[in-house]
Structures are given as structure tokens and as C-alpha cells.
Amino acid sequence: MDKKMFCYQCQETAGCKGCTMVGVCGKEPDVAAMQDLLVYVTRGISAVTSALRKEGKSVAPEINHLITFNLFTTITNANFDKESIKARVRVTLDAKEKLLSQLNSTKDLPEAALWDGSGDWEAKAKTVGVLSTENEDVRSLRELITYGVKGLSAYSKHANALLHDDEDVDIFIQRALAATLDDSLSIDELVALTLETGKYGVSGMALLDKANTDAYGNPEITKVNIGVGKNPGILVSGHDLRDLEMLLEQTQGTGVDVYTHSEMLPAHYYPAFKKYPNFIGNYGNAWWKQKEEFEAFNGPILMTTNCIVPPKDSYKDRLYTTGATGYPGCKYIPGEIGEKKDFSAIIEHAKKCAPPTEIEKGEIIGGFAHAQVFALADKVVDAVKSGAIKKFVVMGGCDGRMKSRDYYTEFAKALPKDTVILTAGCAKYRYNKLNLGDIGGIPRVLDAGQCNDSYSLAVIALKLKEIFGLDDINDLPIVYNIAWYEQKAVIVLLALLYLGVKNIHLGPTLPAFLNPTVTNVLVEKFGISGVGTVEDDIKLFFGESK
């Protein structure tokens, strides 16, 4: 049977091999085709910007932002709206034509840089997707780089929204994308570029950390309500803190409460958001449970980034998108970087809705980003030196639908009582509501925040290395057992590899886009491996059953 599409960028891709008929995420083949075409033209414009820089010419920040926005649009579960993706292709082609006119010479540019948009776009898309690279080793490395750069673009986009830029990061993103069009590069050169992607991943995460903390302060230990109030509410999902800030400002005095969902939970940890009396708490769990939770919420939902699950008819009219997100039939709230978005439509909608239906009660604790952990450093170091804390386990990353992800809940339950979990990302919903207790007042789950806050986990590890006077980060009493789902997890992985971290366990399955050759490189150089059973992995990491 002919493939209608091919996509294997997420962990849940069909059969852990690739979606060929329709995306497990709900992406239809025609949408997949437009996403492939958008990636293609984004590679093309990146080849042009890279050529311009070689000629000593500058590239406007608006072009850098266009490229990162394009890549963010193609991240798993971000945008299902074919027409909005086509519009991004057209905008990119128009921008590219203007840039081409500035070049002294175009003779060495790849075909993607020169394509003018003529012909049937869906037919064109079939010739430029993942499988257009025939050599499997080259294809695997190109896609690994591309997915890493997609994750890096997400971090960069969030920083841009807060008016922070790092041109070196943008230059690298574009140089790396251009390199994926270069058939002359050897396997060794592509491997080197993969590791360089991790280097800029660290830079991108540092950029976003600075943008967030400059704007909202350093996260602090916070107890977050998971119950509900009596007023109508708006539920905010995704990662974009600037969108949340604008919404909170505009809901003051309206009688409408605001709740976070999934990856937006860590907004409660920032001091700047605590001044809003209608910022009530967090509603629900990880992204994949949204169908039942969005239905129960009763009010409108604002998706600021991924992850969208194709909505049920019962709440589709209450689902709003903004930024790089989109879903056909759902209302879109526009607004460019530096502009104030108008959320009046969603606020007026909320006023007509019933208050949220309560689905749980209580509180969860978080806010253990690097500044807060450093403030507790003496206490943590004393606990390590006394033997009260024997090991830390980094369990950051993503959650997902697969039954096999129950592994992470059972693994957390089975950890020795002298072990502390360091986490960031929605993987935490597998264990952050368990009663795992504390060690001398230090909670056994230290939540640093969003997947965007994974930088904190790296900074904490580096600080511990310094405190204990170690030469090698791998000599720390830290185990890495990371869950992954989409492309932001890929850049976190590459960043950790760049920092020298070895023996990372990645699950619940290894990425389908890693072919045997590339997998062997990662195993031999970095000790990457998958996960086993809970019992076997507890024995492997701790030499004991509990």
C-alpha cells in the first residue's frame, strides 16, 4: 500500500516505525504534506541567510523570528490547520525571494533555496519529505539535527516573545538547517553537527531562562491549588508565559478566573504571577488527558503552544489557539512579538460559561529551579554528605498516552527512600501527586518547571559537580532516566550529551528516527540505552530492589 504520509518525529509514531496513513497525533496526510513543505522552504531560506552572512551581509531579526516560528509550527501537536501552514509557506517564499535579490551569487545554493513556489504544492511536498533522503544513515542524522533544531526554536521563540534574542543561536539554527540540504557532508561531519546542536541547545535554554527570570523573577517553592473556585474560568495550556501574563492583565476585575493546565503549571512558581488574585490554580494533568478534562472545565481553553489533541465536538467551540498553534474550526487570537494580544473574545466567552467542575482537591508543590535549589544548597549538600540522600534521579521529559508509561509511576514508587527525583516537563504528572514524602524537609520530588526549564536540571548538576570538587559530571550520584515524546525533549537530550552526561536511559522506547548506525554511535560514545522493567532498572541503578 502506498504511503499517504511519513512522519516519525514523536515517540508514539505508529509501530515505533512511522505514521504512514494518518498521524497517531491526529494529523491528516494533507496537513503532514504542508508541514513537510514548510520545513523544506524553511531549510531553503536558511541556506539563503547563511549565504548572505558568508558575503558579510546582515539578516534582520524578523527573518530569524520567521524561521523559528515556522519550525515551532511543525512541532508535534502544535498546528493541525492546513490553511495557516500554507500561509506560512507563502510568507517564507516571499521573504526568501527578497533575500535572494541581495546575494551577489546564487550559483551554489541548493534547490530548496531557489524553488519559487510554482507547481502543485502537495505534489512537491511528496518529493521533499523525510524519505527524500535515501541513505538511511544520512537521513537519521539529518532528522535528529532537524528535530533538535525544532526544539531549540521553541525555546528561542519563547525568549523572543519576551524581547530576548541570541543571534548566535539563530545563526546556528539556520546554518544547521542549510547543512541538512548538503549532500557533500560525511557521516562524521553530521555527527559533529549533531553534538554542536546540543551546544547551542544549552545556549538556547540559558537564553529562555534569563528571559523568564528577568520578566517574572526566579521561581520559588510554591504550593499550587488543584481544586476549583466558584467563578467562570479560562484554562491556559502550553508553555508561553507572555500569553498568560497578557491574559491575566486583561481578566482583572472581570469576574473570570484563570487556571493553568499541563506544562503551564510552573507559572505559579514565578513571583510576578502571584499578584493576580484570580490566578486560582492548576486544573488537570498531562496534555494527553485533555479530552475529558477540557470537557469538565466548562469554560474556554487557550492553547498557547503544543500539545493539542484533536478536540471533541462538546468543547471544540471553546478551544482557542494563538502563536504557532492552530486547529481548523477553532478561533485564533493573533499577535506578533512585542504586540499586545486582544483576549476580549475569550474573556467574554468565559463569562457565559459555568464554573469548572472539580475533578480533584488538594495541593502540589514545585518551584525547584536552579536559584531555589542553590538557596537550599547547604541543606542538600549536608543531606548528601550524611548519607540521608544517596542519589538523585533525573526523571524529566514528556508524558504520553502509551500504557508503557506507567513504568515511570511504578519506578518512582519503587525508588529507595533515600533518593530524590529531579524533574521538569509534563513527565512529572506520572508521579508528582504521589505521597513520596521528604528527606529532612527536602521533598523527594523537586519540580523545576516546564520542559523549557530543563536548563535548571543541567545547572543544578553542574553546581553539584563544583560543590563536591569533581572533575567529571558523571561522578555525581545522579541517574538519568528520562521520558521523551517530542522535539523539545530531543534538544534537551542533545544538550545533556554536549555537557558530557553519559549513560542516559531514554524511554519508553528509543526514537524511531535513530537507525541502527546512529543508535550505535550514541551507545558507544555516550552509553545511551532504553529502559527495562522497573525491577531490573532499580537493581541496575541501585543494586537493590527497594
Using CA atoms in the order 191, 193, 194, 198, what is the torsion angle rounded to 10 degrees?
140
pLDDT of residue 2: 78
Rounded Cα–Cα distance for residues 530 and 223 (Å):
34
Report the DSSP pairing between strands 442-443 and 438-439. antiparallel
Number of residues written out for the chain: 546
Residue 545 has pLDDT above 70, yes or no: no
Give the containing element (helix H, strand E) for 393: strand 391-394
155-208 confidence digits (pLDDT tens): 999 999 999 999 999 999 999 999 999 999 999 999 999 999 999 999 999 999
pLDDT of residue 452: 85
Residue 546 has pLDDT above 50, yes or no: no
Mean model confidence pLDDT for the chain: 97
In angstroms, the first-to-last Cα distance of the chain is 49
DSSP-assigned letters across all residues of 275-303: G-TTEEEE-S-SGGGHHHHHHHH-S-EEE
544: confidence class by pLDDT, cuts 50, 70, 90: low
The verdict on whether omega for the bond into residue 29 sits within 30 degrees of 0, i.e. cis, is: no
Give CA 77 to chain center in angstroms.
11
Please give the DSSP secondary-structure letter assigned to residue 339: P
- Within 10 Å of residue 232's Cβ, how many Cβ atoms? 21
pLDDT of residue 121: 98
pLDDT of residue 543: 87
Tell me what the mean pLDDT of segment 238-243 comes to.
98
Beta strands in 207-351 (DSSP E): 222-225, 233-237, 257-260, 279-282, 301-303, 319-322, 331-333
274-315 confidence digits (pLDDT tens): 999 999 999 999 999 999 999 999 999 999 999 999 999 999
Report the DSSP pairing between strands 257-260 and 279-282. parallel
Instruction: Name the percent of the chain lying above pLDDT 70.
Output: 99
SS3 of residue 507 by DSSP? strand
SS (H, E, C) 131-143: HHCCCHHHHHHHH
Q: How far is CA 106 from CA 113, 119, 137, in A?
A: 9, 22, 29
Tell me what the mean pLDDT of segment 325-336 comes to.
98
pLDDT: which is higher, 3 or 352: 352
Radius of gyration of the chain (CA): 23
Rounded Cα–Cα distance for residues 412 and 271 (Å):
29
452-484 confidence digits (pLDDT tens): 899 999 999 999 999 999 999 999 999 999 999
Tell me what the mean pLDDT of segment 339-344 comes to.
98
85-113 confidence digits (pLDDT tens): 999 999 999 999 999 999 999 999 999 99
Tell me what the mean pLDDT of segment 222-233 comes to.
98
Tell me what the mean pLDDT of segment 61-87 comes to.
98
